[in-house]
Structure 1
């Protein structure tokens, strides 16, 4: 009976331990080999793709930067505008409140003054000197003078409190006329004063004329 089959009996161990140099050279690529045209084309395409991606990323960053700059500008405009309008409104509110207080105070003072003026006017108009007699003349005259003096004191006191009674709201046209009329005219000046004014107005022209004459004399001297 034949023995069992052993596959190791047909394998040469010396042959398997030695590697063929040809097989080693054909199994891997040579790193020192020059790149082929396909390799160069492939690298060019890869480089172009990377450039396109970088350009797209750059454009995206540019848009993002522009958006951030616009946002920063709007934030600065908001902060500056809010600060300015708060200051303006606060100042305006203070001025209006003060003006309102003064106007209310003046209005109350005017109402009181109107009542006092009416009472004083009624007292003055109630004086009827035509019915005085010799017996009560001194008494009625003293009483009438007292009434008029009280009315005058009321008037002077109201003028100090209310500028409208003192005529301060009227334009100072009369003052301008007085100052204009107070300025002396040329006809009122003396001869010496007129000479001084003429010299002050014409001495620049004299200097220019003297300079021109000097230049003309220098030109003649050269010839």
Structure 2
């Protein structure tokens, strides 16, 4: 029978002896290269790599900044759109309501003014139609009553129009102001303006001498009382 397997029978001692020094040399070379300082070329290469990485990071940062600015601008415009929309909806709705109310009021005022114009024209025509020369002896009282009635109706129409339209009061006040008589202030100014300087001095002395005498008497009385 064959003997048991012996590993030493298949191991070449010459190969082991030759490979061990080579392995030691490779290990020593690697440890030496790891411990030695980097050369200038290696440092330049590392610096170049770092600069490239920094440039890439800077480019990415610029892209992110532009993206952020675009997003902020989009958000601002979105907020502006929403705020402006709500604001204009409120203003337009309120404006429409106010204008509709004003239009309705203007229409009512226009209708009332048209009625007032019609009434004033009719009253004016009736008052202008009064002609005393055409009244006869027998119908004098009847015509007089009709004329007074027309004038009274015209006065009522006029007063009603004045209550509705204040512009009529303004026109009436202007007309009355232009024909109003001069007041006391105007009369006094006209009177004083017509006097000469000497006459004005005499008039002033005549008006002020009683006051001067009273002041002198009062001063003398105070001096006597102090003594």
The Cα of 1:115 is off from its aligned counterpart by 1.8
Within-5 A mapping of 1:137-176: 137-167=140-170
Q: Deviations over 1:50-106 (max 9, x none)?
A: 111101111111211222232233334333433443444344333332332222112
- In the alignment, is residue 119 of structure 1 matched against residue 111 of structure 2? no
Q: What is the distance in 2 between the residues matched to 1:104 and 1:167?
A: 23
The Cα of 1:10 is off from its aligned counterpart by 6.1
* SS of match in other structure, 1:29: helix
Q: Which runs of 5+ in 1 are unaligned?
A: 1-7, 175-180, 191-223
- In the alignment, is residue 79 of structure 1 matched against residue 86 of structure 2? no
Indicate how the Cα distance of structure 1 residues 23 and 136 shifts in structure 2: closer, same or farther if over 3 A, else same: same
Aligned counterpart, 1:36: 38
Which shows bigger deviation, 154-163 or 115-124? 115-124
The Cα of 1:162 is off from its aligned counterpart by 2.1
* SS of match in other structure, 2:106: helix
* SS of match in other structure, 1:167: helix
Aligned counterpart, 2:11: 11
TM-score by length of 1: 0.59
Q: Which runs of 5+ in 2 are unaligned?
A: 1-7, 178-184, 193-203, 205-227
Of the three residues 113, 126, 135, the one matched with 1:132 is 135
The Cα of 1:111 is off from its aligned counterpart by 1.5
Q: Deviations over 1:91-131 (max 9, x none)?
A: 43333323322221121112112222222223223333222
* SS of match in other structure, 1:75: helix
Between Structure 1 and Structure 2, how many residues are aligned? Answer: 169
TM-score by length of 2: 0.58
Aligned counterpart, 2:225: none
Aligned counterpart, 2:109: 106
- CA-based RMSD: 3.8
Contact 1:106 1:162 in 2 (8 A): no
Q: What is the distance in 2 between the residues matched to 1:131 and 1:143?
A: 13
Q: What is the distance in 2 between the residues matched to 1:59 and 1:90?
A: 46
The Cα of 1:13 is off from its aligned counterpart by 6.9
